[in-house]
Amino acid sequence: MTRARFGPHYPRVLVSARKAIQRMRAHALEWLVVLGLIMTVTAVSCRDQLTTQTVAIGPKDSGTLFYPYAYNDALRGGHSKIVPQEGLGWACSLPGAYAYPFCGFGLLFDTAHKGQGIDLSGFGTMNIDLEYQGRAEFLRIILKNRPNGRPDLLARVGEMISQSTVAVRAGRQTAHVELTDFVVAEWWKEKAKLPSDQLRPEFGNIVALEFVTSNDSRAGQHHIRIKSITFDRQIISTEAFFGMIATCWMMIALFWLLRRQEMEARLKRRLAINTLNNVPEIIWSVGPGGRPDYVSRQWSELYGGDPRSLLGRGWLRHVHPDDRRPTISAWQEATLTGQPFEAEFRARLPDETFRWTSVRARPELDDTGAVRRWYGSCTDVNERVEATQALKSSELLHRGILEASADCICILSAEGLIEYTNAPGLKAAEIDSLDDIRGKHWTEFWQRKSKTMINGALARAREGDTVRFRSFCPTAKGSPRWWDVVLTPMLDEDGTVKGLLAICRDVTSDREKSEQLKWASEHDALTSLPNRRAFQARLQAATLRAMITGEALGLMLIDLDHFKHVNDSLGHAAGDEVLETVATRLKAALRDSDFVARVGGDEFAVILENIRSGEDALALGHKMFAALQAPVPIAGRALSTGASIGGALFPQDADSANDLFKSADTALYALKGSGRGGTMMFDRYMLAGVERAASQLGRARSAISEQNVVPVYQPKIEVSSGKLVGFEALLRWRDPAKGLQLPSTVQEAFKDYELATKIGELMQRRCAQDVRSWMDRGLQFGRVSINAAPAEFLRNDYAERLLAVLEEQRVPPHLIDVEVTEHALLDHGPEYVARALAQLKAAGVTISLDDFGTGYSSLSHLRDFPVDQVKIDMSFVQRMSEDEEIAAIVAAVVNLARSISIDVVAEGVETPVQLELLKVMGCRFAQGHLFSSAIEEAELAEMLKERAAAA
């Protein structure tokens, strides 16, 4: 019903949702802390809004919240004049003849004349935004509070008058008044005749607010305009506010503690499972039902088969039939009594053979003493049982077995005294005679630091346990040895331990091999220097130390100049000798604290710690460069080696180990770009090279997205007849402003798999479309060569993609030739390239090896890959008329190819002299500007038509 309602993918959605919830739960604490931080920052930044209540009064409230009114000193015989103005403003003229002239302006809050004003009790501050023009220095503020429930007092003295004074000045200002600064007017106190405790200002029912010029106001004009009046009171105290925040964080901390306990519990469970799966013995458990519900994976390692086959009643199938009854009886007795379970039986292996196994278990009891479940272990005791049985059956047979064993086998008394050691054991321990050790205590032959462990093992063996341990113990002659020891008790017929059997196996070679493997995994086999893996670990550690100590850290990357030429001209043995010499010289030139590693074919890296500045690093770079400049004697020749060294400093040039490596690599790249040789430290301007690469990648992406990739075609000619035999499709891309552009403008794209693949696919599709067009028009064009960038082979599907394009465009594969460079055969998974080329060759596509002679191991490529023709690089062809050695190389390539039935194409033929030389050498095909430059499809079609008409 669920599937019908929600669709077939509903369970998959549930699984995805469950995983998403698990991920959210795994990061719940982090999200809670982030949320707490956001809420805390928000609460603190908005504290005033959260803890303070504000009542604002302004001109817009006139007529609704209050009515404005004004008055002067006329009732007291004065002649002051007051003129209300727009908004909350008035103009007051104070004459000089009157002793105490004044003007007043008020806000009546009792708009309904019912004795109800505004409640300002609890408010602490009044802020008045006003604009004043005049010569007064103070302004008196009066609050009139109408007492509720006291008509007698109201009839006798009227509203309670509380007043305060604020300083004013000319211009706009904000007057700040604390309500605690207000005092009851003296005249009101005298009339009220109330006790002193009832003469404090009250603000529970403010019916009017007045502003009055003070007694010191000078004669003249006074202009006052009220912009706004605000009353503030604190809703929550600062202590309570921050207390709530602290309470929230305490709750987060409590959640963190609970979460931590949960994570610790999970970690303990995971650790327990990992421990069970990694201890040398088999661990198992039995549930409340009395049947096994867990068996560790060591069963598969020791006995073979799936450990799950032992669950439930399946374990009985693995017990020898003769051993089932006593094993079941022992188990039933243990389950009835709650006593530990012990048994030995022969365990069935997948090949139907048996091995003796020792099984032990102890019960876990609940609070009532009842068995909750059993936990046990299985130990392979096959050798011990067989040895015991052999001892019981015959002393002679026993000795024969002991002497036949390659292990050192010692028979000890129950007290640990040596009674017998087999001959192989004496030889392994380099002991001349058994008499030299008989009667001595076994612990005397172990090192002092191991004796505590040895005595413990002897004690356990005396109690009937089989003990296994591994320890170091030199031989009698001092040779270092590591031993794997199994110490087993020997029992008489009544089960009493009468002696101990120690089987000691020499595992020194295994341990040495392990150490050698570790060393080999971190070192270069040729130079014995640390390899790239060890270098990366050391660089990370050094960077962390520099972060902690604040000291500078230097990194120097060294690239041997023209090392490829050494391999090509003198062979790889000479190249190896150069690398060994370079490694030796680098170590000699550096300090003991410096770290040098070989990180690539001809690349080395040096980590410089404890340096003071870039000058120190540069000085060491010059020293290394000078050491590498000395000639290297090889095969009777003094070979000059050069190096380019790029360096960078931490933290000056980088914030991390990876960035430090990138900065040093950028310096090395810049040095090579400006001319090899020397030492150069990183500078920010070098990032221009990186930016240039980014620009090229941007142009490539644009060309791909706008479908601006265009193939142009250069003819291939048969040298002997001048006959057209095909074309090479060359990459161009059309810039909307600059027209056709060379591939060098997007060179970086060919190092990126995605971009190289997309450009390659566009080229393949355009070429296939052109070929189909020529076929449809009946034009004869021979075979078209398509270049494959090395990066296109990275995903092992190049052949499938090309053949799919040809099938889509209905182009026969035999009309296509694929050109690969030697670098593709070396640098980008030779097995992928070999598979792709074999698949293309089987489909009928021919294979050309481009730029032949410029890569590594060219002859092996002709042997290992399905090459139909080789293309001699134009750098050889264009120099062969001036350089006899180059001409000899070209002739040798032509002869070699002809001898193994491979065609040769000479690239870059530009002069008749070069063409004649190729004819003499017997080169079959050629291409170059001598015959034609690369042309677009429309022009090529016209050329094919003209050739067809001429024929």
833-888 pLDDT, tens digit each: 888 999 999 999 999 998 776 655 456 677 778 899 999 989 899 999 899 999 99
373-401 pLDDT, tens digit each: 888 888 888 888 887 777 676 555 566 66
H or E stretch at 242: helix 238-278
660-712 pLDDT, tens digit each: 999 998 888 778 756 667 899 988 877 777 677 778 878 888 888 888 899 99
Q: What is the DSSP string of 610-664?
A: EE-SHHHHHHHHHHHHHHHHS-EEETTEEE--EEEEEEEEETTS-SSHHHHHHHH
**CA 311 – CA 643 distance, rounded (Å):** 66
Q: Could you please state the CATH topology (level 3) that the domain comprising 523-682 is classified under.
A: Alpha-Beta Plaits (3.30.70)
Residues belonging to the chain? 951
**CA 902 – CA 869 distance, rounded (Å):** 5
> In the structure, what pLDDT confidence band is assigned to residue 23 with cuts at 50, 70 and 90?
low
Task: Give the pLDDT confidence score for residue 323 in this predicted structure.
Answer: 86
Cβ–Cβ < 8 Å for 66, 108: yes
Strands 482-491 and 497-506: antiparallel
Beta strands per DSSP E along 450-587: 467-472, 482-491, 497-506, 552-561
Cβ–Cβ < 8 Å for 746, 706: no
Using the CB atoms, write b or e for 473-490: b if 16+ within 10 Å: beeeeeeebbbbbbbbbb
Domain boundaries 708-950, corresponding CATH code? 3.20.20.450
Cβ–Cβ < 8 Å for 334, 340: yes
Task: Give the pLDDT confidence score for residue 764 in this predicted structure.
Answer: 93
Residue 555 has a CB neighbour count (10 Å cut-off) of: 29
Name residue 450's amino acid: S
**CA 242 – CA 236 distance, rounded (Å):** 10
Share of the chain above pLDDT 90, in %: 23
**CA 910 – CA 930 distance, rounded (Å):** 4
Strands 816-821 and 783-787: parallel
Least confident of 9-23, 669-683, 684-698, 755-769: 9-23
Q: In which residue are the tokens 């109201």 written?
A: 154
Q: What is the DSSP string of 17-65?
A: HHHHHHHHHHTHHHHHHHHHHHHHHHHHHTHHHHHEEEEEE-GGGBTTT
**CA 394 – CA 760 distance, rounded (Å):** 80
More confident residue, 907 or 218: 907
**pTM score:** 0.38
Cβ–Cβ < 8 Å for 391, 490: yes
More confident residue, 856 or 905: 905
Residue 668 has a CB neighbour count (10 Å cut-off) of: 24
Q: List residues bridging with 376 in a β-sheet.
A: 284, 361
Average model confidence (pLDDT) across the chain: 84
**CA 127 – CA 140 distance, rounded (Å):** 14
Task: Give the pLDDT confidence score for residue 415 in this predicted structure.
Answer: 87
Highest-pLDDT range among 91-100, 395-404, 575-584, 684-693 = 575-584
Span 224-246, average pLDDT: 84
Residue 74 contacts by C-beta under 8 Å, 6 or more apart in sequence? 80
Task: Give the pLDDT confidence score for residue 869 in this predicted structure.
Answer: 93
699-731 pLDDT, tens digit each: 888 888 888 899 999 999 999 999 999 999 999
Alpha-carbon separation of residue 39 from 47, 238, 256, 397, 813 (angstroms): 11, 17, 17, 83, 68
Span 433-448, average pLDDT: 84
Eight-class DSSP state of 813: G
**CA 341 – CA 315 distance, rounded (Å):** 16
Name residue 743's amino acid: P
**CA 870 – CA 906 distance, rounded (Å):** 9
Alpha-carbon separation of residue 561 from 570, 588, 601, 603, 677 (angstroms): 15, 20, 12, 10, 7
Share of the chain above pLDDT 70, in %: 89
Least confident of 32-46, 97-111, 484-498, 758-772: 32-46
Cβ–Cβ < 8 Å for 735, 741: yes
274-387 carries CATH number 3.30.450.20: yes
More confident residue, 435 or 763: 763
Q: Which of 921, 904, 924 is nearest to 913 (CA)?
A: 921
Determine the 3-state secondary structure of 500 from DSSP: strand
**Phi, psi (rounded to 5 degrees) for 525:** -65, -30
Residue 633 contacts by C-beta under 8 Å, 6 or more apart in sequence? 639
> In the structure, what pLDDT confidence band is assigned to residue 255 with cuts at 50, 70 and 90?
confident
494-537 pLDDT, tens digit each: 888 888 888 888 888 878 787 777 787 888 888 889 999 999 99
Residue 414 has pLDDT above 70, yes or no: yes
Task: Give the pLDDT confidence score for residue 828 in this predicted structure.
Answer: 47
Q: What is the CA radius of gyration of the chain?
A: 49
Residue 885 has a CB neighbour count (10 Å cut-off) of: 9
Please state whether the peptide bond connecting residue 651 to the residue before it is cis, i.e. omega within 30 degrees of 0: yes
Q: Which of 535, 539, 644 is nearest to 598 (CA)?
A: 535
Show the tokens assigned to 54. 């504000």
Q: Could you tell me the residue ranges of all domains in the chain? A: 55-234, 274-387, 405-512, 523-682, 708-950
Task: Give the pLDDT confidence score for residue 675 in this predicted structure.
Answer: 62
Cβ–Cβ < 8 Å for 482, 504: no
**Phi, psi (rounded to 5 degrees) for 120:** -110, 15
> In the structure, what pLDDT confidence band is assigned to residue 785 with cuts at 50, 70 and 90?
very high
Q: Work out whether the CA dihedral 395, 397, 403, 406 comes out positive or negative.
A: negative
Task: Give the pLDDT confidence score for residue 793 in this predicted structure.
Answer: 81
> In the structure, what pLDDT confidence band is assigned to residue 208 with cuts at 50, 70 and 90?
very high
CATH topology match: 55-234 vs 708-950: no
Domain boundaries 405-512, corresponding CATH code? 3.30.450.20
Architecture of domain 55-234: Sandwich (2.60)
311-344 pLDDT, tens digit each: 777 777 888 888 888 888 888 888 888 888 888 8
Question: Maximum Cα–Cα distance for the chain, whole Å?
Answer: 146
Q: What is the DSSP string of 418-455?
A: EEEE-HHHHHHTT-S-GGGTTTSBGGGGS-GGGHHHHH
